[in-house]
Amino acid sequence: MTSSVSGRDAARAIDAMRRGWPITVTAADEPPLTVLAIETADAERLARFAPDGRFDVLLSNGRAATLKLANQLDAAVPDRPVVVEHAPWFDMALATALADPQLDLATPLKGPFRTIPVAAPIAAGAALQLARIAGLLPAFVIADGEAAQTVDARAIAAHEDAQALQVAVRARLPVAGAEQAEIVAFRSPESADEHIALVIGTATGEPPLIRLHSECLTGDVLGSLKCDCGPQLHAAIHAIAAAGWGVLLYLRQEGRGIGLVNKLRAYALQDQGFDTVDANVRLGFAIDARDFGVAARMLQLLGQDRVRLLTNNPAKVAGLEAAGIEVIERVPHALPANPHNEHYLATKRDRTGHQL
Ligand SMILES: Nc1nc2c(ncn2[C@@H]2O[C@H](COP(=O)(O)OP(=O)(O)OP(=O)(O)O)[C@@H](O)[C@H]2O)c(=O)[nH]1
Ligand SMILES: [Zn+2]
C-alpha cells in the first residue's frame, strides 16, 4: 500500500500514458498491474515492454462485448474489465485491432481468443478510467516491463475531486445576447480542466435559471449540424438574459467526458452506421462519462444551491440533486432539428431518456 495518495500521481500517470510510457497501477489487496496504453505504443515500445513477446490485453467490458469476448466471463459482473490472454500470434497490429474499433467492419478479428478473469479488477478499472481522462482509447497491453510512473487507484478520485475547484478569476464579459455578464473561471490544483461560468444579469434573490453546457468544439465553435450544442448554447444565453438573471456553466466535458479525439472516433463510427450510444460502447466507454458534481461545486462557490435548470436530460437533474443542489424546476431546452441531427436527437430521446 502506498502511504500517501495525491491527485498529482494521477496527473503524472496520465502524462506518462500519453507519451507512450508504461505505468503501474496499485490498489489495496491486489497485485500491482503494469500496463502500456495501446494507442501510444508502437512495435518498438512494445518490444521493450514485453521483451519475450508475451503480453495480455486489457479491455473494457463494453469493448470486449463488442468483440464477443465478454461472454466467456462471469456475467454477474457486467462492468468488469476483461483480459484477453496471450496467444503466440499476438503483436502490435493485433493489439491495435483489439483496441481500436475503426476497422472492426473492414477486417473482422480472427481468433480464437481466450479471456481470463482480471487479477486486479480495481487497478484495471482505474487504468481504463485514466485512459478516458487522458483522451486515449481505453485499452492496454499487460506485461512485466518497467513502469515510468506508479499510481494508486485512489489517486484518481483525488484528481477528479470536484471539491478541489476554486474560483480563479472573475471579469466583466459582455456577450452577444447578454451585455450584462460576468465570466468566472474555476481551477483545481489537481486537474488541468478550467471550467467556466457566465453569470448573466443581476441576482434577484430568486433561484437563478441555470444551463449546464458540456464543451463541444465541433458544435460550439465550428457550427456542426450533427448535434444541437451550438444552438442550445446561444439559446441558453438568450433564455437566461430574458429571465433576468442566471448562470451558464461551460463544463470542459468534451464528448460527454471522453475527449475530443475519442468523440471524433465516435463520429467516424457513426459514419459507418452506428448511433451515438453504440459508438461509445464500441470504443469501450460508458454512454455518458460526465460527472455533474463539478457543476454542483461551481454553483455552490457562486452561492447558489436552489436553481431552475434548462435541460431535457434527467441525468443532469439527478446529478445536481445528488451533489446537494435543489432543482426546483426543469425547464425544457429543445431546439428545432435539422436533417443532420434528427437521428442523434431521436437516439437521445429513445435510448438515453431525454425528455424531448
Ligand atoms: N461521445 C459523444 N459525445 C457527443 C456526441 N454528440 C455530442 N456529444 C457531446 O455531448 C455533449 C452535449 O451534451 P449536452 O448538450 O450538455 O447535454 P445533453 O446531455 O444532451 O442534455 P441537454 O441538457 O438536454 O442538452 C457535448 O460534450 C458534446 O461534445 C456523440 O455522438 N458522441
Ligand atoms: Zn455537440
Report how far ligand 1's centroid is from the alpha carbon of 213 (Å).
9
Residue pair 79/61 in contact (Cβ under 8 Å)? The answer is yes
In percent, the amount of the chain with pLDDT more than 70 equals 96
Confidence (pLDDT) at 73 = 66
- Interval 181-196: pLDDT, tens: 999 999 999 889 999 9
Which residue in the list 63, 80, 265, 290 is annotated as catalytic? Answer: 290
Looking at residue 316, its amino acid is K
Binding residues for GTP: 211-215, 232, 254-256, 276, 311, 316
Residues around the ion ligand 2 (C-beta < 5 A): 216, 219, 227, 229
Binding residues: 211-216, 227, 229, 232, 254-256, 276, 311, 316
Confidence (pLDDT) at 77 = 67
Q: pLDDT grade, residue 349 (50/70/90)?
A: confident
Test site for ligand 1: of 210, 227, 272, 340, most ligand atoms within 8 A of the Cβ: 227
Q: Is the interface score ipTM higher than 0.95? A: yes
Residues ≥6 apart with Cβ < 8 Å to 278: 269
- Interval 311-336: pLDDT, tens: 999 999 999 999 999 999 999 998 88
Predicted model pTM: 0.95
Q: For residue 90, is pLDDT > 60? A: yes
Confidence (pLDDT) at 72 = 66
Q: In whole angstroms, what separates CA 313 from the centre of its chain?
A: 17
Q: For residue 78, is pLDDT > 80? A: no
Give the residue among 206, 302, 303 at the shortest CA–CA distance from 245.
Answer: 206
Give the residue among 160, 165, 140, 238 at the shortest CA–CA distance from 198.
Answer: 238
Strand order in the sheet with 209-214: 166-172, 181-187, 195-201, 245-251, 209-214, 306-310, 326-331
CA distance linking residue 227 with residue 250, whole number of Å: 17
Minimum mean pLDDT among 10-14, 113-117, 130-134, 328-332: which range?
Answer: 113-117
Closest protein CA for atom 1 of ligand 1:
255
Q: For residue 1, is pLDDT > 50? A: no
Residue pair 27/153 in contact (Cβ under 8 Å)? The answer is yes
Q: Which three cell numbers stand for residue 71?
A: 461472454
